[in-house]
C-alpha cells in the first residue's frame, strides 16, 4: 500500500493528497506540552517549516535532495570492534538502498522500493520494513515537512540537552509516525523519532550534528542512533553526492 512518505514523487511542493489521520504514539522522554508554542497554530507551523527549508538551502536545495548518495562509517553494538562501511542511496519517491559491510561479516544489503522492502535478498515486513521507511523519510525530512505541511501535527516542544526543540509529527505509513525536533533558532532538525503503534511498538531515534554544506544543501555528517531507548551505534559520513541520475538497478533486490 503506498504511504505518505513513499509517495515522495509528489513531494516537490505539489499539493499533497489526503492522508489517514496521524496517530499519537507515546511522547518521547523529555517531551512536554508547550501552550505558547501550540497557541501559534498553523501560522507557527508554517513559519517553522519555512525556516527549516531555508536552513537546508531553500526550495532549490529541497529539489536537489530528491537524489542522494552517501558513504561513510558505521558502528554497531552487534559488531564490536572496527567500524563498518556504509553506503546509502536514496531517490524520491521512497527508493532506498543501504549496504553495510563489517570486517569478517557478509555485506548486508537493504532495499526499499515503494511499500516493499528486502534484506539480504529476502522480502521483509514488520520492524525491518518500518526501519527502512523511516530511514527514507529521514533522508528527505525538509521536503517531507514542506510537502505535507497541512497534515503536520504540532506536538509542542522537546527539552533535549538543555535546548528546546519544536516538534512536528506526520504519519508516513499506516501506524508509523515520524517526529522532527527542529531548533527554532536555526531551522535545523537536530533530532528525529519514528515510532509504530500496535503489533509490538518499535521506536527509533536519530540525532544529527556536524552540519556541512554540499553544493548548497545542508547535510548532517554525523548521526547517533537509538532503538527502543538503547543506543545502537553511530553513522559518520565521509562523502555526500547529489547526483542528477541514479541507476534504477540500485533499487532492485
Domain of 62: which CATH number? 2.50.20
Cis before 93? omega within 30: yes
With respect to residue 4, please indicate whether it lies within any of the assigned structural domains.
Answer: no
Q: What is the sign of the dihedral through the CA atoms of 56, 59, 61 and 63? A: positive
With respect to residue 17, please indicate whether it lies within any of the assigned structural domains.
Answer: no
Residues 136, 140: Cα–Cα separation, whole Å: 7
With respect to residue 231, please indicate whether it lies within any of the assigned structural domains.
Answer: yes
Residue span of the structural domain in which 184 resides:
22-251
* DSSP letter assigned to residue 21: P
Q: What is the pLDDT of residue 41?
A: 80
Question: What are the grid coordinates assigned to 11, written together?
Answer: 513531494
Give me the number of domains the chain comprises. 1
Q: What is the pLDDT of residue 207?
A: 96
Is 5 within 8 Å of 178 (Cβ atoms)?
A: yes
With respect to residue 209, please indicate whether it lies within any of the assigned structural domains.
Answer: yes
Cα distances (angstroms) measured from residue 23 to each of 35, 85, 161, 174? 21, 35, 27, 9
Residues 149, 142: Cα–Cα separation, whole Å: 10
Low-confidence ranges of the chain (pLDDT < 50): 1-39
Q: Give the list of residues 6+ apart from residue 99 with CB closer than 8 angstroms, or none.
A: 85, 86, 87, 107, 108, 109, 110
Q: Give the list of residues 6+ apart from residue 80 with CB closer than 8 angstroms, or none.
A: none
Question: What are the grid coordinates assigned to 241, written together?
Answer: 553526492
pLDDT in tens, 57-116: 999 888 999 999 999 999 998 888 889 999 999 999 889 999 999 999 999 999 999 889
Question: What are the grid coordinates assigned to 149, written together?
Answer: 505541511
Q: What is the sign of the dihedral through the CA atoms of 7, 136, 142 and 180? A: positive
Question: What are the grid coordinates assigned to 61, written together?
Answer: 536545495
Q: What is the pLDDT of residue 197?
A: 66
Q: What is the pLDDT of residue 200?
A: 55
Q: What is the pLDDT of residue 154?
A: 95
With respect to residue 3, please indicate whether it lies within any of the assigned structural domains.
Answer: no
Q: What is the pLDDT of residue 4?
A: 39
Is 148 within 8 Å of 140 (Cβ atoms)?
A: no
With respect to residue 55, please indicate whether it lies within any of the assigned structural domains.
Answer: yes
With respect to residue 228, please indicate whether it lies within any of the assigned structural domains.
Answer: yes
Question: What are the grid coordinates assigned to 134, written together?
Answer: 523511516
With respect to residue 5, please indicate whether it lies within any of the assigned structural domains.
Answer: no
Amino acid at each position: 500500500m503506498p504511504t505518505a512518505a513513499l509517495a515522495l514523487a509528489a513531494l516537490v511542493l505539489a499539493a499533497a493528497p489526503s492522508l489517514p489521520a496521524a496517530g499519537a504514539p507515546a511522547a518521547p522522554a523529555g517531551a512536554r506540552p508547550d501552550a505558547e508554542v501550540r497557541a501559534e497554530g498553523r501560522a507557527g507551523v508554517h513559519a517553522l517549516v519555512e525556516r527549516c527549508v531555508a536552513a537546508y538551502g531553500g526550495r532549490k536545495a529541497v529539489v536537489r535532495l530528491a537524489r542522494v548518495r552517501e558513504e561513510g562509517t558505521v558502528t554497531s553494538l552487534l559488531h564490536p570492534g572496527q567500524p563498518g562501511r556504509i553506503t546509502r542511496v536514496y531517490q524520491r519517491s521512497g527508493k532506498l538502498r543501504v549496504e553495510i559491510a563489517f570486517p569478517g561479516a557478509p555485506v548486508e544489503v537493504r532495499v526499499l522500493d515503494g511499500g516493499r522492502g528486502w534484506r539480504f535478498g529476502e522480502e521483509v515486513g514488520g520492524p525491518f520494513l518500518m526501519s527502512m521507511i523511516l530511514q527514507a523519510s529521514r533522508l528527505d525530512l525538509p521536503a517531507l515537512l514542506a510537502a505535507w505541511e497541512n497534515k503536520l501535527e504540532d506536538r509542542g516542544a522537546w527539552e533535549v540537552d538543555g535546548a528546546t526543540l519544536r516538534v512536528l509529527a506526520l504519519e508516513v505509513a499506516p501506524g508509523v509516525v515520524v517526529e522532527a525536533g527542529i531548533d527554532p533558532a536555526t531551522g535545523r532538525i537536530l533530532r528525529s523519532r519514528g515510532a509504530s503503534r500496535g503489533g509490538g511498538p518499535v521506536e527509533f531515534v536519530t540525532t544529527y550534528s556536524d552540519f556541512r554544506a554540499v553544493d548548497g544543501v545542508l547535510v548532517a555528517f554525523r548521526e547517533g542512533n537509538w532503538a527502543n531507548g538503547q543506543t545502537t551505534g553511530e553513522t559518520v559520513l565521509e562523502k555526500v553526492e547529489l547526483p542528477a541520475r541514479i541507476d534504477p538497478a540500485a533499487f532492485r533486490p
